[in-house]
Structure 1
């Protein structure tokens, strides 16, 4: 198969879903032995019939970072290191770049930002059908997710399922051939403005003086909007030219060993309303969960990202932080954008979770009403009779936490199609 007919990103996702092997090799020969990634020039995708499809490791993919396509080697390396912490992944990428330099290769491995890496892994493992970093195959109007070749084979040897838009449900390649002969019809937006919605707010501002003179005989008068409301200075501009995408809110956890809710048990507590002890052997550095905020978007659940550290935060990530779990220790906030409790909890909802019957730490008391105090019943071994008597109250605590987060998000201006308007 010609390299131009192959979608490397889709090939890798299909190989992961099918459980087939992906072998780095130095040549594109079908019997080439496996070689370490620094010396590899191809990734060979095994098919169901025992054949292999080679793809160059430096082939560009549809994943775009900083307006540049990311190569297949970087995508594959990020998948291999999906379970490690972000700082360990960056260290491994640095070592691989050094090894590439020793073999006189000009290539380097792209280091993904925190949210980019999360989005990529989520898409590759099939947990999400869309990503803001992955371009539609073939551009707007493309008929196949694997390119224009309708009969391209996947890593498993079967015909590649294609997508009309590059996202969403995959379709049979024979249907893609039929769709390619369709006569495209458009609505008034596509007829007047083309395939990309265009922002014309600048025209409105230019027209205001002329309309004022015509209606009121002088300059400086404000033209009311058609609905009688005061006109805004400009319409919201989407720089990508497409529909606005609501950002995923972020919840920060306390890295303290004394915290009752850690990465190993926070997801089950917030999703199921039941506390279990944290597992100190857990190496997870991030989770994502969905929860419906009825006063923000009752029809579509919000996806929340849960993390402990902020080492690799970009400045705009702080606009998405909606809650911070704390144990009352101020050292937790040293690396934060707002590194004092008084300043932090002006912007973000604070949450403290402690044992029922035990005193609240003095630090939490001093921070006032901006930190929600929650108490759960002490953990008892399930083998002890009556251990689950009071565990039903965990759900009430979890619901109180979600109500506080939702209240804070509404105050900050979160809406069903946009993030915070007030930081």
Structure 2
């Protein structure tokens, strides 16, 4: 099979999941040795005996442009780096590419794009708002809306494998021998066409009643209209305080917000510049958990990211908001809610109290070591209180099951 028949993203993901090596090389020969990325013309997938051009465009879209394989490989290679180190490494590589006379350049991905890409490559997520579906998958979905000219389970198997290569002829013959199951079209139609137009007349009163109820919601719904159409709902963002005095940092935020257990921020070292937690938000999507992106800084924010902010954790130090879209805390907390986490029994800082009801003040019991289990039962109560407030804020801003607000 020619290299053009292989999707670079799927090949890379498959190699990662099966722990097969892939290296940059200066030749299309599958046995070529590894070279620095600045000198590479191809990416060799040794386990697959496959070579793909390093500048091959992929289905990952950033700034309305396909990201090339070099940039995808670079992002995976430097997935553990914090944002400043990642940007510095990209600049160094671009300088080396220019010095070697190459017109190629690493496309610098935003922190949310990087997180989404790495999560998908690792297999932790089956969908990404930045990855276009394969053309075969789109055509298969369209074919499913009409009766297929193929018969039996073989047709379903062929549709399911669209864009993933041809099905084995022997397997196809097995599928053809299976009992054919009807789809919604054959079940409704039977052996001759049936006119269901009378059903529409019966449904009109119910449709009109639903439309009247929907119009009463009015302004709340208008906030959550997704201008880009039926794309996947973006992930909401929570900003943490980068202050060393904050009780909630990247090192302990997941255990606190996901598991309801507070650990001191210095108990586990973390170099991650972003992470995600999952949580069911019943009033928005009761059937599947929402993924929340946690980050301490907004340096790599695109303008539209600010519409996805659902909470800002703060210690009350105003320098935290210096690079925010709204650097004045009184203005910031008109657009989103603030959260302060302090020690139980201690007063919140003057700034927190001065910002009023827009910043909720919570407290946890002091940490007395791993053996002090008895005092940690109240952590879950605090976490549930925080999530309930975040949920109310999201609903008021227009978050829906299939859309995020266009402004907050």
What residue in structure 2 maps to residue 17 of structure 1?
Answer: 17
Q: Contact between 1:162 and 1:171, CA under 8 Å: does it hold in 2? A: no
Structure 1 residue 173, shift from structure 2 partner: 3.8
What residue in structure 2 maps to residue 392 of structure 1?
Answer: 377
CA distance in 2, matches of 1:59, 1:394: 49
Structure 1 residue 297, shift from structure 2 partner: 1.6
Would the alpha carbon gap of residues 176 and 296 (structure 1) be closer, same or farther in structure 2, given more than 3 Å must change?
Answer: farther
CA distance in 2, matches of 1:78, 1:406: 33
Q: Contact between 1:163 and 1:171, CA under 8 Å: does it hold in 2? A: no
What residue in structure 2 maps to residue 206 of structure 1?
Answer: none
Would the alpha carbon gap of residues 20 and 327 (structure 1) be closer, same or farther in structure 2, given more than 3 Å must change?
Answer: same
Would the alpha carbon gap of residues 307 and 171 (structure 1) be closer, same or farther in structure 2, given more than 3 Å must change?
Answer: farther
CA distance in 2, matches of 1:17, 1:32: 23
Structure 1 residue 178, shift from structure 2 partner: 5.3
What residue in structure 1 maps to residue 234 of structure 2?
Answer: 247
Would the alpha carbon gap of residues 359 and 175 (structure 1) be closer, same or farther in structure 2, given more than 3 Å must change?
Answer: farther
Match of 2:278 among 287, 290, 313: 290
* TM-score relative to the length of structure 1: 0.77
Would the alpha carbon gap of residues 132 and 382 (structure 1) be closer, same or farther in structure 2, given more than 3 Å must change?
Answer: closer
Match of 1:109 among 103, 106, 109: 106
Match of 2:168, SS? helix
Match of 1:406 among 391, 394, 400: 391
Structure 1 residue 226, shift from structure 2 partner: 4.1
Would the alpha carbon gap of residues 171 and 293 (structure 1) be closer, same or farther in structure 2, given more than 3 Å must change?
Answer: farther
Q: Contact between 1:143 and 1:176, CA under 8 Å: does it hold in 2? A: no
What residue in structure 1 maps to residue 188 of structure 2?
Answer: none
What residue in structure 2 maps to residue 149 of structure 1?
Answer: none
What residue in structure 2 maps to residue 379 of structure 1?
Answer: 367
What residue in structure 2 maps to residue 33 of structure 1?
Answer: 33
Residues 316-353 of structure 1 show CA distances to partners (whole Å, capped at 9, x for unaligned) of: 11111010101111111111111111111111111111
Structure 1 residue 354, shift from structure 2 partner: 0.6
Q: Tell me which stretches of 4 or more aligned residues in structure 1 moved more than 3 Å.
A: 139-144, 161-167, 170-179, 225-241
Structure 1 residue 143, shift from structure 2 partner: 5.8
Q: Following superposition of structure 1 onto structure 2, how do residues 8-407 of structure 1 map, counting pairs within 5 Å?
A: 8-47=8-47, 52-138=49-135, 141-142=138-139, 164=160, 173-174=167-168, 226-227=208-209, 229=212, 243-279=230-266, 281-383=269-371, 387-407=372-392
Unmatched tracts of structure 2, length 5 or more: 142-156, 186-206
Structure 1 residue 371, shift from structure 2 partner: 1.0
Structure 1 residue 422, shift from structure 2 partner: 5.6
Relative contact order, higher structure (CA 8 A, sep 6+): 2
Residues 154-174 of structure 1 show CA distances to partners (whole Å, capped at 9, x for unaligned) of: xxxxxxx9983879xx89843
Query: May I ask how many residue pairs the two structures share in their alignment?
Result: 359
Would the alpha carbon gap of residues 273 and 172 (structure 1) be closer, same or farther in structure 2, given more than 3 Å must change?
Answer: farther
Unmatched tracts of structure 1, length 5 or more: 145-160, 188-224
CA distance in 2, matches of 1:237, 1:380: 48
Residues 201-244 of structure 1 show CA distances to partners (whole Å, capped at 9, x for unaligned) of: xxxxxxxxxxxxxxxxxxxxxxxx94473699999986655x24
* TM-score relative to the length of structure 2: 0.80
CA distance in 2, matches of 1:135, 1:350: 35
Structure 1 residue 142, shift from structure 2 partner: 4.6
Q: Contact between 2:129 and 2:231, CA under 8 Å: does it hold in 1? A: no
Structure 1 residue 138, shift from structure 2 partner: 2.5
Structure 1 residue 304, shift from structure 2 partner: 0.5
CA distance in 2, matches of 1:239, 1:419: 10
Match of 1:272, SS? coil
Q: Contact between 2:226 and 2:403, CA under 8 Å: does it hold in 1? A: no
